[in-house]
Amino acid sequence: MKFLDQAKVYIRSGDGGAGAVSFRREKYIEFGGPDGGDGGRGGDVWAECVDGLNTLIDYRYQQHFKAAKGGHGMGKDRTGAGGADAVLKVPVGTQILDEDNETLIADLTEVGQRVLLARGGNGGFGNTHFKTSTNRAPRRANPGAPGEERWLWLRLKLIADAGLVGLPNAGKSTFLAAVSGAKPKIAAYPFTTLHPNLGVVVGGHDFVLADIPGLIEGAHEGAGIGDRFLGHVERCRVLLHLVDGTQQGPGDAYRTVREEIEAYGHGLAGKPEIVALSKVDALSPDEREIAAKALAAAAGREPCLVSAVSGEGVEDLLRLLARQVRAARTDDPNAIPSEPKQVWQP
């Protein structure tokens, strides 16, 4: 399945049906009078958050969504049928923005959430509505109200508990594959990861880990893949910053990524961060010590030493991540509190 995290769509709600001009004509009824029915209401356009989706790829192949028009009124006071609604099914974490791609309309973060994007037009009145004591046979009816139309942007921000950041080829995908059931592409060249990946870490830890493409210097200005995918870690509670221990200057590598995160903004720089030195299985004891000291001087804290290939330090790092995630969930004002356990009483 291809990954797409941004799409532009056109929506239009249905027009209301026209009212009818009709008169009752039956045998032995001398004065039938008007009996034109109202037009039906046009269909609405909704966005609904559903389970089982993690991409907006469906909106690459269909960009226009139109609700059905309302049916016209008919004689014998029959109201036209209402138009069918159009529903845009989107994955959890989808933001809906106006055509300027800046004004936020809705942020769908839970399965089952629905938001009305365009309201259908009202049906027109039939001539029955215009009957008065002095106008017993009105010959007028209203047309239906037109529907609404607009262009919208859909932007997906994956929801995860922890997010992996770092330079390209820092071992993020290897780490994700080692601790979860995810199967990201892994190769010995930069920019192997071209779109975000999600994995569920189990074994007593139980949190969701997100991996995004690597950042390079100038990413906030569009260098490399740019910082577009940083939006997927905006919702993360904790950041795991992996630094390649086999490269020259791990301290400089850490500072490069931090500068790009701070330039991106959106509160990402203020999130709790765990720093880890990866690929330590390829380093001698002396090289480990030198790299760890350089990284500690840049980050202002002692880094964790891990190797996703040999498994060294992985379990300790996962326990630390799980503790940070639990602490962040507790401090999150939007988190749903757990049900208190009821003590059995006779």
Residue 95 DSSP SS3: strand
pLDDT for the residue 308 = 87
Regarding whether 184 and 80 lie in a shared domain, the answer is no
Query: Residue 194 sits in a domain of what CATH number?
Result: 3.40.50.300
Given 123, 156, 189, which residue is the final one in a domain?
A: 156
Do 93 and 157 form a contact (C-beta atoms < 8 A)?
A: yes
Domain span at residue 71 reads: 1-156
The verdict on 14 and 146 lying in the same domain is yes
Q: What is the pTM of this model?
A: 0.74
pLDDT at 193: 67
The predicted pLDDT at position 187 comes to 66
- What is the per-residue pLDDT for 38? 95
Residue-level pLDDT at 192: 65
Task: Let me know whether 237 and 151 are in one domain.
Answer: no
User: 69 with 170, same domain?
Assistant: no
Please tell me whether residues 124 and 170 are part of one structural domain. Answer: no
Do 174 and 149 share a structural domain? no
pLDDT per residue as tens digits for the range 238-251: 898 999 888 888 88
In order, the DSSP letters of 144-168 are: PPP--EEEEEEEE----SEEEE-ST
Assess whether 229 and 243 both reside in one domain: yes
What pLDDT is attached to residue 327? 85
User: Is the same domain home to 148 and 50?
Assistant: yes
In sequence order, the β-bridge partners of residue 331 are none
CATH number, domain at 50?
Answer: 2.70.210.12
The pLDDT tens digits of the residues spanning 31-63 come to 788 999 999 999 999 999 998 888 888 998 999
Question: For residue 339, what pLDDT is reported?
Answer: 39
pLDDT < 50 positions in the chain: 1, 333-346
Question: Positive or negative CA dihedral for 248, 253, 254, 255?
Answer: positive
Q: How many structural domains compose the chain?
A: 2
